[in-house]
Structure 1
């Protein structure tokens, strides 16, 4: 896992090479909506590209993380199936239903059953490397391909390749500082419940962090976003007192936070401290939403790795998930 995190900027550049060679075909009907299917490390890319393209996407985007698909899926839907292994049963089930609805389908995978379905049904497919055997550590491959698909179908005004290149350069330049910051933050999370908050636009980033702390650090983590948390969760900052007093609240901030959200965050910092939580700020770096998002993702990936070391666990295996899949295969 350490090597995979270290090589993240290289992964982005390899992903660009794959994108440049992608062979896609035109849709038979105009695209009126996008549905992205995927779970876990494969599925979080849908949340992130929704954020990246929020200001300029031409049609609405939905994500599905289930066996089923929305009722509106039809011939005017661009249905993108993301499965690193190609064997995610929920995603292959959803693809079968999208085929029956006549959607325009693109598969992003390293192969497996999804690759076979694509070949059998003549679907567009972009193959990504599967050697890492870790979907969550291969997130860059999927996100770059998703952005490439959007651009091919004319759903965004321009491709994001220049921003991805700049992101890789930013991460390389900041790597030493990123690692130092991550070590400090991981140390503060030892024996505590990490709570991360961000502006709603960066929900994908904090959800990704929750997943990484769950899988790499084998630890629970809680996340939510502003302003929604101000309308419900904030009231819950009373009990259980022992949990709140043994928590670390990380306020993820960016250059793209809504100005009213920034004020809300400022007010809430004091509320969290009054309830006994230590509060730290984590500001993003980068020139645009993509760069700032990937900066945070990379830094927080390192946090999950160092927290795994502190917890005395191997960040790579996910034994309980493998057990669950094994039990499912018997039924």
Structure 2
């Protein structure tokens, strides 16, 4: 199987270069120049879709224990009613032309919220400049889902600064980047010594259900689900422990003729809540009794931030290898492009 013939637009290189992207994103974050002072913030909204929204999810995951104000990720055309002049609204759109994010921008502006944008350009950049608002510029040229380093790391520096979060962020991210550099030769190999490739061999023909843990790996499950959908062109779904123990677990009962089509991935963190770890173990036993194909993913890393980025990187490679095994070019998202063109034709 010749991956070069399948991966026509070279998604391989985008994933391989992710630690380089992290290095550049750290430089961007360190050199953020804000023209305004952001005071009396009592809530934060990150508005974005797709990979940009996942950047917000991961931001809330990483800084969860440090945040002293509510953090909400908006994946919609509108804002919650409680947004006001004390709300920091971060509008994140890689292209700058995401219509839902532009709609939120206008509403945030009308509510006199404190607005910052992160984008490569486009209409969002134009509106930020027109209103003399701060803008974090990130490099263009990538698929938005492949630019998670750019959509996440500068915002980590931004929140640390605005909320005065006491964490040695730069040194942690430098260590994290070193870890990701150390992994890329292994994960880029198309053989069984690469556990992202060997797992892909087991799941690429299946519908994937990813279970994370609330507050630890739930947002990572969303990231990996999105990568499997877009890169691998596979159906994938997520839920989280402990919530799934209160409903979805019962769903693994009827329609058992279809269970062979499913694979379950468990994202297990080194610092899981002890009771959630017990729940995971018991749930795995329940699914084992009905012969569900299950795989546990746990990753190395000295800090939680290191492990978050390790999960991201593993998931990206997993989705890449699933695409190659299915002989699908990982880059094109034909159905998304068709949907956007149809929406444009029906505008107004």
Q: TM-score, normalised by structure 2?
A: 0.92
Q: Counterparts of 2:212 and 2:250 in 1: how far apart (Å)? A: 18
1:245 is paired with a residue whose SS is helix
Task: Please give the secondary structure, in 1, of the residue aligned with 2:61.
Answer: helix
Quote the residue 2:70 is aligned against. Answer: 60
Once residues 128 and 32 of structure 1 are traced to their aligned partners in structure 2, the CA distance between those partners, rounded to angstroms, is: 27
CA distance in structure 2 between the aligned counterparts of 1:155 and 1:103, rounded to whole angstroms: 20
Q: SS where residue 152 of structure 1 aligns?
A: helix
Describe the SS at the equivalent of 2:335. Answer: helix
Alignment of 1:101 with 2:115, yes or no, is no
Of the three residues 187, 196, 206, the one matched with 2:201 is 187
Instruction: Indicate the residue corresponding to 2:91 in structure 1.
Output: 81
Classify the secondary structure of the residue corresponding to 2:330.
coil
Q: What number of residue pairs does the alignment pair up? A: 330
Name the stretch that deviates more: 107-116 or 178-187.
Answer: 178-187
Q: Please, what is the CA RMSD of the aligned residues?
A: 1.3
Structure 2: gaps spanning 5 or more residues: 1-10, 189-193
The equivalent of 1:323 in structure 2 is: 338
In the TM superposition, residue 117 of structure 1 has moved relative to its aligned partner by 0.5
Is 1:204 the counterpart of 2:219? The answer is yes
Match among 141, 157, 160 for residue 148 of structure 1: 157
In 2, the alpha carbon distance for the partners of 1:280 and 1:109 equals 36
CA-to-aligned-CA distance 1:8-42 (integer Å, 9 cap, x gap): 00000000111122111343641001000000011
Q: Does the Cα contact within 8 Å between 1:148 and 1:159 map onto a contact in 2?
A: no
1:117-138 deviation digits (Å, cap 9, x = unpaired): 1000011000001112x10000
Residue of structure 1 aligned with 2:324, choices 272, 288, 309: 309
Q: 2:120 aligns with which of 78, 89, 110?
A: 110
Q: Deviations over 1:52-94 (max 9, x none)?
A: 0111112110110001001111110111010000000000110
Structure 1 Cα separation of the partners of residues 291 and 239 of structure 2: 19
Q: Deviations over 1:190-216 (max 9, x none)?
A: 321222112112211110111000000
**Residues 1:287 and 1:223: Cα distance change in structure 2 (over 3 Å):** same
Residue aligned with 1:249, SS: strand
Distance 1:242 1:172 in 2: 43
Query: CA distance change for structure 1 residues 85 and 268 in 2, over 3 Å: closer, same or farther?
Result: same
Match of 1:174 in 2: 183
Residues 211-247 of structure 1: per-residue CA shift (max 9 Å, x gap): 0000001010121110010011101011321332232
**Runs of at least 4 residues of structure 1 off by over 4 A?**
none
The aligned runs of 1:179-258 (5 Å cut-off) are: 179=188, 180-201=194-215, 202-258=217-273
